[in-house]
A and B are shown apart, each in its own frame.
Chain A
């Protein structure tokens, strides 16, 4: 089946420093894919680049195909129809992601006008329906509220309503719960899942928290230093993580039962774009590092039909990605 969105060799550099170094990732219609990695790995940049939302100084190469249409370098009117109309995106900090001087109803109706040609009382009725759908109580009156009059969790619901206004085929949710209280986090995750089921919409959930992704996604891509280092269905990833970085992330998860203990976080930090290691990006933090790790960047190798990892320790029998029919 042809994927809805396919990123191929997507690379981004800021002032010559590589933030993304060749991302290959596809998302099928209706699928829920998680993108996980520590802060600074390039998760946000990946999808901002795909939608053309990075500042002009960003040098973008590679390809982003949406249903057979190339988005990298596409003219502005094409991108404007895609943004919000076919691929919607919501962000980490809902309260500053909404315009403080406009009523939330107006902000939803703007998207309705752009993508569904709705205006006036039609648009208002639909905006109210969307607020109802995302679980805002007293939706009719809330249309006239300003973002500062709502809580963070409610604002994230409004962001979701705006995202849904264009009836997109894919919703990219970039750390949608990171800025919220734990109980609110769970509600927003639940809302995203139920909406996805109702609408048959694909979801890319970006998070630094593997636990969040495990809950809401079918497939996970693990990012490190501007590359995807492992990709697998969720269950398979937890059963048989192949990349030392993924193993580290799983090791850092709090146990399901028993008292909360201190997380076994991976020592060290994510390399900055201007100081990328020559070979495997994870090498400076990896306990299995050996000379070949620094010689060249390891490519993604297929471990099984749907499981690939980019580490020289992955079974030598595994096939290079290129030879696996996608």
Chain B
């Protein structure tokens, strides 16, 4: 897949669709509970001054994720 990345690589202002969550265990469940289920459109909306965490719009709520979390989410960029 050409446009395939992990969520932390998504530039602020752009959107992608979740393909898979690769976390396992409790973290897997946590990310799913935040709405990151496959097929969900996610937009990177803002970066904190130090670049981590990054804020994402997930199903109508803005949620900040750390690199260690967002790097576990496989997404496909919107063309």
> A and B, one complex?
no
Give A residues with C-beta under 8 Å from B. none
